[in-house]
Every structure is written in structure tokens, then in C-alpha cells.
A and B are shown apart, each in its own frame.
Chain A
Amino acid sequence: MNSLYYQKRLSRNIGDKFFTSLSVICALIAILPLIFLVTYILYKGGSQITPELFTLEPNPPGDDLDAGGINPALVGTLIITTIASIIAIPVGVGGGIYLAEYSRGGAFSRFIKFGVNVLAGVPSIIAGVFIYALIVSTKILFGSMYSGLAGGMALSILMLPSVIKTTDEGLKLVPNELRYASLGVGASMYTTILKVTLPSAFRSIATGVVLGIARAAGETAPLIFTALFSYYYITGFGDLFYEMGSLAVLIYNFALEPYDAQNKLAWAASFILVLSILSVNIFSRILAAFTEKTKRV
């Protein structure tokens, strides 16, 4: 008769309570430092933000009074990520189109998919080492060694797998009926892809690509010996062939300086980097949730 009621002291119930509290503790240990981390970065970095930060050059370390601004690094990050996107997006979208629209699951496409996964797992510093060997040390780019261009190429290697994957997955979600309809009215394969399937998968591909760009903007390891760092304003097109600063490398260099002024600059740069990456992420998440809702209706 008793067995119909919940018995506190039954071993299974005690065990259940124990494991439940264990998982709560795990979640707390995991999440509390993470919350602390984000708020600290935003608080500490946010308090360093001044208008001059965006317009001045950083002063070389040693002058503890005034560290200057991060303008060259900010512009450099924009330029390097743009170069990386210009290389990685066409190649990645093209490759994704082949995988999703043309391949029939043969050995070649399986090999490429395998390669995409492997390339995604290659440590980011290896991409830097590769570009160093291929471009920096050979001075193949018109005799320039360390350059923003080389940095952009290194980043594009890291972006490529994610662009291919999102394109492939985005195109696979497009219903086959659309393709049949387009081919049925006599459109050729490339018109079908360019006018029907790509546009209808545009939003999911764009979201994935933007997230990939945001991730690349924070990458440091491939840049430290390809783009190196520069203290000076970027003034013209020719600067692409010289050392170029970036927010990520600025944080790395200035965090290791013993001077307080440089450390503050590193915090300010982290604030800008983290805030922009997080807002891109949150925005695309909201957008994705919104699309899902409208689709269901």
C-alpha cells in the first residue's frame, strides 16, 4: 500500500536528489564565471572609451602618461576582414553550390566534405604558418613581406570551411519542388541556382557568413606573423602591402606590456571587439528566430 506514495528515504529518491543537485552545481560552476567574464570585459573596457580613442594613433609603449588611440588597429581589422571575406565568400559559396546542387554524393564530394571538416579543425596558427611560408618569407607579393594582404589571406583560410558549410546546408533546406518548377519551365541549371535556389536560401547563408566574418574578426594567431602590427594611420591603398595593425593583435601586444596606459588600451579594444561580435551574434539569432516564426504561420 505504501508503495503508492512518494517515499523520501527510498535509495532511488535520495540518489535522484543527489544527482539533480550535482547537475545544478555543475551548471552554476559553469555559468557564473562566464557571466562574470562578460560583465567584467564590458565594464572594464567600457569605462576606457573616449572619443579620442577612435581617432588617434597608439603611442609606442614606454610613455605611461598617454597611450593614444586605436584608430589604425580598428581600420586595420576592418580592412583585413574585408580582404578575407572577398577571398572566402566567392570561393566558399561556389564550393557550397557545387556540393549542394551538382554533386551526387560520389567519392569526390565526400572527399571535399571530409576536407571541409578537417580544414575547420586545423589550428588557426597553422594557417598563419602556412601563409608565412607561402607569401611572407617568399616576398611573392611585389617584394613586401608582412602585409595586411597576407593577413587577410590567412584569415580567409579560416573562414572558408564555415562559408562552404553554411552555403551547403542553406541550399539543402530549399525544397526540391522549387528546383523542379524552375527546370520545368525551361530554365537552365545556372538560372535556377542564381534566380531561384540561391535567393530563397539567401537569409540562412547570409547569417552563417556574417557569423563567420565576426569570428574571423577576433582571430589573432594567424595575424601575428603575417600582418604583424603597425602604430601608424592607414592612409592609402599602398598600405595594404605593409605591416598592418588589428584590434586582436593590439590586445595581444598591449596586454603583455608592463605599462598601465597600454593595458587600458587593450581593454578598450577588447570592449569594441567583444561588443561588435556579440551584437552581430545576437542580431542574427533574433533574425533566425523571427524567420522561423514567420515560416510556421
Chain B
Amino acid sequence: MEEKLTLFKNRKRFGIEKNIDIIFKNTALVLSSFVAIILLGIILVVFFQSFESFSRYGLKFLVTSEWNPVKDEYGAFTAIYGTLVTSFLSLLITIPLGVGTAIFITEDFVPKVFREIIGSFVELLAAIPSVVLGLWAIFVMEPFFRAFFVFLHNFFGWIPLFSTEPSGRNSLLAILILVVMLLPIVTSIARDSLNQVPKKLRNAAYGIGASRWKTIFSVILPAALSGIMAGVLLALGRAMGETMAVTMIIGNSNAFSWSLLSPGYTISSMLANQFGEADGSQVSSLFYAAFVLMILSLLVNIFAQWLVKKFSLKY
């Protein structure tokens, strides 16, 4: 105590301290603007590097699927299609599973201890690196699903999505490993937004005689919808940009096919595969593809932020 009191004795504010204060504030300001600088830097650098390819192929790049470094012909349709198909289909599987799980751990079906254990376990899984998931997919998931894929082809081969003989690595496996990656994200965000719904809404619904699931469907889920939607969009952005696990399992082929059982490509797996060895106009075309990927994920992200702001908790 004695010490602290003497600290304040004869204390005057010197000019130098004022200067330090100003310097400190401005340093913090500069550091915070780094984020904007990096973001703009990324957009500008990727755009200018892709300029050569952009001016040569224009928008045709987006709809042709020729990728031939020898003839200098580039089109990224297969990769763009692959990115969109894998991310949307994986999301389609993930949403019901994730939201169902989130409802399971926010309702009182099992004691609270179990629910908390399940909840934190799911969150821990989000921390597993995607390259490890890719390794697991190659050595465990692929053999496990092999027979199932043959079955799919034999019985549902008339559907274009399953029309080819299943290859060792294919788009469907990429979709499944994406589901494993997205589940923790969707589940934990859905759980958080379900938990944020005020208790009185639930009590009011129960009070007028609604059954448990009537309450969930007509009161709780609509109230939590904006949060869940934002989580889903976040997961969509993640799925589109996901590189490692997908690259390791999708088969990496630029030949376009409607079938999910044949090898495919996504923009990020194309980058991961070819960037190291590319030169000349191939580099520029890869940057063009990277630019497309970036625009896609930026749009999803901005839309998610807008959605949260627009629809957040209006009850």
C-alpha cells in the first residue's frame, strides 16, 4: 500500500507522456488498418496477376472446361462446377443432420451432463486439421464406402449423378468428407442460436398447449433462424474454400462429368495441385481461378454478415 501511495506523489503529466499517448493511439490505429490493407492487397494482387488470363479468355474462362498447358487453352468450368456442387450438396446433407443434432443437445432428452459433453466434443472436432481428415478419408472412408458406391451405380445408374463406374477417388467422397468438416460448424452455431432464444417464448408456447415439437417448429426454430442461416452461410464459405481434405480425395481430374462417382476438381484443389509447378500463362489462369474463388467466398461472407444484421433477434 505504502508503495502505491508514493507512486502518485508529486505526479505531474509531462509533455513527453502526452506524446507517448498520442503515439500509442496512432500505432494502434495503424495496426488495426493492417486488416484493411491486407484484404485490399489480396484482392488487388490476385486481380492483377490474373489480368493476362482475364484479358485473353474473358468470361469464356468460366464456361469452358479445356485445361491444356501445351496448347495454352484454359477454362475452369469443371473446377467451378465442382466447387459449387461439392459445397452445396455437402451442405444439403449437413443442414438437417447439424440442426437435428443441435435440437437434440438443446432440448432435455438426455441429462444435461451428456448434452454438454456431446456439445463440447462436437466443438473439439472443428479443431482437427483438414489434412488429417483427408488422410482418414483416403485410408478409412474410401474402403468403407466402396461397396456402397458400387451399389449406388448398379441400382441408380440411370440417374446422371451416379452414371459412371465408381472410381477410387471421386466427388462423392469429397462431399462426404466435407460433411464431416461442416457438421461441427453448423451444429455449434445452431446450438448457440437455439440457446439464445428467450425461455419465455418456449413457456408461452407450452402455456397455450403447444406440444414440444409444435413449439420447436413454430416458435423456437423461426426465432433462431437468422443465427442458423448465418452459420450455414459460414459453412458454405468454408466448404467452397476447403482445400486439403478435398484435394486428397476428389481425384483431381479436369475431365467434366455429371457423375459424382467419377473424379472431379474444385478451384482450391486445382490451385493446390498445379500452383507449384505452373509457369507462364498457366500461372495467370490459376490466379484467375483463385480470383473467382475469392469473389464467391466474399459474396457468401458479405451476404452472411448482412443477414445477421438484418434479421438478428427481433422478438
Complex contacts, B59 vs chain A, CB 8 Å: none
With a cutoff of 8 Å between Cβ atoms, the chain A residues found around residue B127 in the complex are 211, 214-215, 218, 277-278, 281
For the complex, is A118 an interface residue (Cβ under 8 Å from B)? Answer: yes
Q: A218-B132, A256-B248 are in contact. Are A119 and B35 (CB under 8 A)?
A: yes
B243 interface residue, CB < 8 Å from A? yes
How many angstroms from the CA of A281 to the CA of B302 in the assembled complex? 29
Q: How large is the interface on B (under 10, 10 to 19, 20 to 34, 35 or more residues)?
A: 35 or more
Identify whether the interface residues of A are mostly helix, strand, loop, or mixed: helix
* Chain A residues near B72 (CB-CB < 8 A): none
Task: Please tell me if A130 contacts chain B, counting CB pairs below 8 Å.
Answer: yes
A196 at the binding interface (Cβ < 8 Å): no
Pick the most buried of B32, B103, B212: most chain A CB atoms within 10 A of its CB: B32
A124-141 interface code vs B (CB 8 A; 1 in, 0 out)? 111111101110000000
* A96 partner residues in chain B, CB cutoff 8 A: 32
Query: A197–B297 Cα gap in the complex (Å)?
Result: 36
Q: Which residues of A contact B17 (CB under 8 A)?
A: 188
Residue B163 CB within 8 A of the other chain: no
Q: Is the Cβ of A26 less than 8 Å from the Cβ of B96? A: yes
Which B residues are CB-close (under 8 A) to A92? 31
Provide the A25-50 mask, 1 if CB < 8 A to any CB of B, else 0.
11101110111011011000000000
| Additional pairs, 15, CB under 8 Å, beyond known A102-B29, A132-B275 | A24-B104, A26-B101, A34-B183, A41-B136, A94-B32, A95-B34, A115-B39, A122-B39, A126-B293, A129-B290, A160-B34, A188-B13, A189-B24, A220-B131, A248-B129
Q: Which residues of A contact B (CB under 8 A)?
A: 12-13, 15-16, 19-20, 22-27, 29-31, 33-35, 37-38, 40-41, 90-92, 94-99, 101-103, 109, 111-112, 114-119, 121-130, 132-134, 157, 160-161, 164, 185-186, 188-190, 193, 211, 214-215, 217-221, 224-225, 228, 248, 251-252, 255-256, 263, 266-267, 270, 273-274, 277-278, 281-282, 285
